[in-house]
Structure 1
């Protein structure tokens, strides 16, 4: 596991009160589960979940889709443990610590899902290609990830710097729509959600609570004065942030090579 991935895992393992702060994350998980339920699926689909977190999508999906066997995974052991506590035991339901970019599983899934975990991937397109290769014919990879425009109010308050909100650069919608995977059809949808905060400090606390302040390699160290100025600007703009959420639906239409 790379140093970056280890930092991500540690950050989420420290996210003790994730569910309390993860209002947007819960909404996105519910929306994704509803989207998946409306898609053509195999009967009792063999399912893999990447980046389960505390089980927001796991729970929402199992309420809407009668899955067959289901492997639920996360890179952070503590998050996986919380998910396991949340979800009622069932036949065929298993849990494993796993990096979604290095899936240690055999192919043959009817459904692979992930909600707001893929933005932590180092190589998003490469990860999608790997995961799509694990699908059976007619299988579906359904992923939500953050896109360019997320936290734009905070970036503007910092003068365009990503120094405080340290995350991978979010892909643009055109870049996502330009992705091509052999033997697959790809559809990208965009939803824009907004979250209000009491003030700038509350916004930063929420980011820490959901584990989203992992130092990135390109992060710029800000002085206390620069942070105070950014907070004042952010609060003058209303202390609201945008989440640009891309839903990526990748359907395998032929047999994967190999």
Structure 2
């Protein structure tokens, strides 16, 4: 499965920096859930917020570990420019999770929430995490897997054969890659999170504002015509329930530890 080009991902999220926090309800919930999953006895001197975005969780990590030094790293320089004045981390670095511009064994904690789904080579992400973690250090991550936005994907299939919805690796692939890594697997689970929208326009608007619109190869060029949008709206409306139109995200939560 081909992944979006990294420069496209970086540019999309850089453009979204100023508006991102206003519509990031799912991102906040998932990140808070990930924070709650951190081991209680974790002794942290340095932490890394990997895919730090607007720095929201960098600031929460700083509050949780007030004596530790933090580093926020993101592929999107626009996100870093937005986050740096707000504090939280001691340093803000542009970098790629698959090739971290960091020294070996320098963190007790890597925290990464809803960022690693954009990485094509998750095995390399895990290898880099092992490299920069100190012995006994923990990688805590959340990501998205196959089945995310399935309602939208299936509705588009009723309209045409183009790729309109971002594609993510399956849970079984996450299981295999984590098991094959040099890290000890503490926990790995997939949980659905469902958001509800009054109409299709609100859903697609939110995806655009978040910078998480369709970034995959095979997407159509240009805007969809009125007839296609009407057909899509009719198809998606078959999912409507009393709370509105559902949008299901399949969220992966993982905890891995580097052996001492």
TM-score (ref. length: structure 1):
0.87
Report the alpha carbon displacement of residue 191 of structure 1 after superposing the two structures with TM: 2.0
Distance 1:162-1:142 versus aligned 2 partners, 3 A rule: farther
Deviation per residue, 1:75-99 (Å, 9 max, x gap): 11111122223335x7xx1111112
Distance in 2, matches of 1:182 and 1:191, equals 22
Secondary structure of residue in 2 paired with 1:178: helix
Alignment of 1:38-77 (within 5 A): 38-42=39-43, 44-66=44-66, 68-77=68-77
Distance 1:85-1:55 versus aligned 2 partners, 3 A rule: same
Query: Unpaired runs of 5+ in structure 1?
Result: none
Alignment of 1:196-235 (within 5 A): 196-221=196-221, 223-224=224-225, 225-235=227-237
Report the alpha carbon displacement of residue 226 of structure 1 after superposing the two structures with TM: 2.8
Deviation per residue, 1:128-172 (Å, 9 max, x gap): 22222211111101111001121011111112767222x2x3122
Distance in 2, matches of 1:235 and 1:22, equals 24
Determine which of 17, 24, 31 is the counterpart of 1:22. 24
Distance in 2, matches of 1:189 and 1:67, equals 31
Q: Tell me how large the CA RMSD over aligned residues is.
A: 2.2
Query: Unpaired runs of 5+ in structure 2?
Result: none
Distance in 1, matches of 2:130 and 2:162, equals 31
Report the alpha carbon displacement of residue 39 of structure 1 after superposing the two structures with TM: 4.3
- The aligned residue for residue 253 of structure 2 is 247
Distance in 2, matches of 1:188 and 1:206, equals 28
Question: 1:142 touches 1:249 (CA, 8 Å); kept in 2?
Answer: yes
Question: 1:132 touches 1:250 (CA, 8 Å); kept in 2?
Answer: no
Matched pairs, number: 246
Secondary structure of residue in 2 paired with 1:17: helix
Distance 1:183-1:236 versus aligned 2 partners, 3 A rule: closer
Distance 1:84-1:162 versus aligned 2 partners, 3 A rule: farther
Question: 1:114 touches 1:142 (CA, 8 Å); kept in 2?
Answer: yes
Question: 1:207 touches 1:213 (CA, 8 Å); kept in 2?
Answer: yes
